[in-house]
Amino acid sequence: MSLESNHPVRLSELYREVIMDHYRSPRNKGELPDPTVSIDLNNPTCGDEISLYLLVKDGVVQDARFSGQGCSISQASASMMTQAVKGKTVAEARDMVDRFKRMMHGDEEAGRPLGDAVALHGVSKFPVRIKCALLSWEALERSLEQLPG
Ligand code: ZN
pLDDT in tens, 59-96: 999 999 999 999 999 999 999 999 999 999 999 999 99
Ligand 1: centre distance to CA 2 (Å):
10
Q: In what order do the strands lie in the sheet with 60-69?
A: 37-43, 48-57, 60-69
Ligand 1: centre distance to CA 68 (Å):
11
Ligand 1: centre distance to CA 108 (Å):
21
Ligand 1: centre distance to CA 3 (Å):
10
What is 8-146's CATH number, 1.10.357.10, 3.90.1010.10, 3.40.50.1000, 1.10.260.40? 3.90.1010.10
Ligand 1: centre distance to CA 75 (Å):
8
Which residue, among 91, 81, 79, has the nearest Cα to 140 in the 3D structure? 81
pLDDT (tens digit per residue) in 92-140: 999 999 999 999 999 999 999 999 999 999 999 999 999 999 999 999 9
Ligand 1: centre distance to CA 73 (Å):
6
Task: Write down the pTM of the prediction.
Answer: 0.91
